Chains A and B, each alone.
Chain A
Amino acid sequence: MARLGEAVQAVRSKNAGPFMVTVDIFCGTDAAFQRVNAALPAAAVGRLCGADPDRVERYELPDIRVVKFSFPRPAPQGSRGDRDMHGAQWAVLLAEAELGEGGESVRRPSRP
């Protein structure tokens, strides 16, 4: 099964202010955009990233073949429980998720 990161050009995440994080998936091609767009509802991103699915904002930008998600950080930036000051590692969770062939089909990779 392909990993999402292998099917797209790039996945990046970053703080959007101290209380939000935003993840940009640059799909590269129209086909990849359609595949990722179908496979990634907001709830799936909430599950992968440990965010409340009801507070995950989802944006589709077909012109530049980007799917984007923004959600509140589980711990505000730099507070005691924060593990990643700039929020760049959330991208890894999406890039390493397994991407199926259609439908809502992204899931956490199984541990070996």
Chain B
Amino acid sequence: MATRVLVPSGVLGLGFDREALRRAASDKPDIICIDGGSTDSGPFYLGAGVSKYSDASVRSEWKELLDAREVAGCPLVLGSAGTCGTDGMVEGMLETTRGLAEAAGRRLRVAVLKSEQPAASVSEALQAGRLAPLAGAPETGIEAEDVERCSHIVALAGAEQIAAALQTGADVVIAGRATDTAAIAALPLMRGEHAGAAWHGAKIGECGALCSTRPMSGVIGLEFDRAGCTVEPRAEGARCTPESVAAHMLYENADPFILHEPGGHLDARGAAYDALDERRVRISGSRWVASDAYTVKLEGARLAGFQTTALVILRDARYVANARRWLDRLEAFLAREIPVRTGLAASDYAIEFRLIGVDAALGRLETRASDPAEVGVLAIVTAASQETATEIARLANPFLLHFPLTDEEDLPTFAFPYSPAETERGPLYEFALNHTMRLDDPMAAFRLEVTEVGRGPSR
């Protein structure tokens, strides 16, 4: 018997084709899985423990998915709740679910899986030699002090922890941080479908319709069996081709053949992608290679100061043509004046400028030289406190507005787009961990709780 997984979209908050979702739900899949998170938008969300997506988007989509679950009569799983998957985000989704269940007059059994790690237990794992760095990690080693400076640390749950949540008989699973693939792979693996296909299909489906010719349509159906996985886009006119499916194995993945997961890795070197018809693709030939030790990936973010920004626009053609030279002069001037006026050492703050219209995105790697009509000058100040960052930005303000290209010319006046010109960005966070943690038992670092929410007859 095959296991059919419905993936409504790549992430909760991004939207999906409603008609495709209705059709797919009425086909009675075995499970509906959606991802809620990623590190892709940067360290702020984990550092602050907040979601990237608007509450309104998340609530309205979650309501539609709970309705689809009623029609399908199967479990609904959310992985990596609230972008970062911290305990606070999981609890927030539980409350959202409770509110929606009550409003709909439904009774739901909800399993909540928490992934957040106390710094003390990660420090302990570090001391015990259970942490190992991953490729691309900063060369410098990690100390207990680095761990303790993280505001939030999460461990990425795998299929084992999601399976434990499903085994509670839950209607809805709300998981903290998990791998993108874990929620999708869990049920096929529990039912004994081909393990290589379970992980490979999960990787292909984890971003929803991104593996199809209509990436915005969201809804993807995955059918897993003992030999492989069939991928089928559910939106009208959407197609999966061997190329579109194979291409997704490369996506956001440093190695195009190997995908590391808790407890082992997927080896897709022998994979075949075959068109079943013009819409569906069959994946087969991948292998799951179990590891000796069970490890989970850790993510941690820590405070790296506070930032204040200012933006000014140069429009005078002579200044636009000489923007770099002007900026070099201004930077040298500020490097002299800031310490004199504030008493701060150069190491106490950083002021960085980006020339928008010149090379703001690529910096010294930029190869194109153009003749823009205007240049935006973005000043980014970082300091240990918000007050200091803003004080430095205010100190720079009159020079951003009036600094001349030479000493012997009238003072120019550039364009500030708003008043005040300074914007407090708040805390700056940085990713501080790129490590795995070895566990004796997959559940050792995770907590599972089951709650009944709402009212009315249970299913």
A interface footprint on B349-385 (CB within 8 Å = 1, 0 otherwise): 0101010000011111101110000000000001000
CB–CB B246/A109 < 8 A: no
**B434 in contact (CB, < 8 A):** yes
CA distance A86 to B362 in the complex (A): 13
**B62 in contact (CB, < 8 A):** no
**A24 in contact (CB, < 8 A):** yes
Q: Which residues of chain B in 391-443 are interfacial with respect to chain A, using CB atoms and an 8 Å cutoff? A: 428-431, 434
CA distance A18 to B135 in the complex (A): 11
Choice from B39, B137, B360, B428 contacting A80 with Cβ under 8 Å:
B428
CB–CB B256/A59 < 8 A: yes
Residues on A with beta carbons closer than 8 Å to the beta carbon of B382: 80
CA distance A36 to B314 in the complex (A): 40
Choice from A15, A72, A93, A109 contacting B252 with Cβ under 8 Å:
A15
**A20 in contact (CB, < 8 A):** yes
Choice from B41, B252, B304, B362 contacting A83 with Cβ under 8 Å:
B362
Choice from B255, B257, B434 contacting A19 with Cβ under 8 Å:
B434
CA distance A79 to B301 in the complex (A): 11
CB–CB B360/A83 < 8 A: yes
CB–CB A18/B360 < 8 A: no
**B136 in contact (CB, < 8 A):** yes
Contacts A14-B251, A24-B250, A76-B138 hold; do A61 and B431 have CB atoms under 8 A apart?
no
Choice from B350, B369, B431 contacting A78 with Cβ under 8 Å:
B431
Closest to A93 in B: B365
**A66 in contact (CB, < 8 A):** yes
A interface footprint on B230-254 (CB within 8 Å = 1, 0 otherwise): 0000000000001100110011111
**B277 in contact (CB, < 8 A):** no
CB–CB A70/B429 < 8 A: no
Closest to A76 in B: B431
Chain A: interface residue total (CB-CB under 8 A): 41
Residues on B with beta carbons closer than 8 Å to the beta carbon of A14: 251-252
Q: Which residues of chain B in 250-275 are interfacial with respect to chain A, using CB atoms and an 8 Å cutoff? A: 250-257
Contacts A80-B304, A112-B369 hold; do A22 and B250 have CB atoms under 8 A apart?
yes
CB–CB B247/A57 < 8 A: no
CB–CB A84/B361 < 8 A: yes
Residues on B with beta carbons closer than 8 Å to the beta carbon of A78: 42-44, 429-431
CA distance A89 to B252 in the complex (A): 14
Choice from A16, A73, A76, A85 contacting B430 with Cβ under 8 Å:
A76
**A26 in contact (CB, < 8 A):** yes
CA distance A79 to B247 in the complex (A): 29
CB–CB A96/B367 < 8 A: yes
Residues on B with beta carbons closer than 8 Å to the beta carbon of A18: 39, 43, 431, 434
Closest chain-A Cβ to B203's Cβ sits at a distance in Å of: 13
**B40 in contact (CB, < 8 A):** yes
B interface footprint on A28-65 (CB within 8 Å = 1, 0 otherwise): 00000000000000000000111000000101010110
Contacts A57-B255, A77-B39 hold; do A111 and B367 have CB atoms under 8 A apart?
yes
Q: Which residues of chain A in 66-102 are interfacial with respect to chain B, using CB atoms and an 8 Å cutoff? A: 66, 68, 70, 72-73, 76-81, 83-86, 89, 92-93, 96
CB–CB B136/A93 < 8 A: no
Residues on A with beta carbons closer than 8 Å to the beta carbon of B137: 19
Residues on B with beta carbons closer than 8 Å to the beta carbon of A103: none
Closest chain-B Cβ to A51's Cβ sits at a distance in Å of: 10
CA distance A22 to B136 in the complex (A): 12
Closest to A85 in B: B42
CA distance A60 to B414 in the complex (A): 50
Contacts A63-B246, A64-B246, A68-B256 hold; do A50 and B251 have CB atoms under 8 A apart?
no
28 A-B contact pairs sorted by A residue (CB < 8 Å) = A15-B252, A16-B252, A17-B134, A18-B39, A19-B134, A19-B136, A19-B137, A19-B431, A26-B247, A50-B364, A59-B256, A61-B246, A61-B256, A68-B250, A70-B255, A78-B44, A78-B429, A79-B431, A80-B304, A80-B305, A80-B350, A83-B362, A93-B365, A108-B367, A109-B367, A109-B368, A111-B368, A112-B369
In the A-B complex, list the 7 residue pairs whose CB atoms are closest, starting with the nearest.
A78-B42, A19-B136, A70-B254, A16-B254, A20-B136, A18-B431, A78-B43
Beyond A17-B134, A18-B434, 15 extra complex contacts between A and B, CB < 8 Å: A15-B252, A16-B252, A20-B135, A20-B136, A22-B252, A24-B247, A59-B256, A59-B257, A61-B256, A66-B247, A78-B43, A80-B382, A80-B428, A81-B352, A85-B42
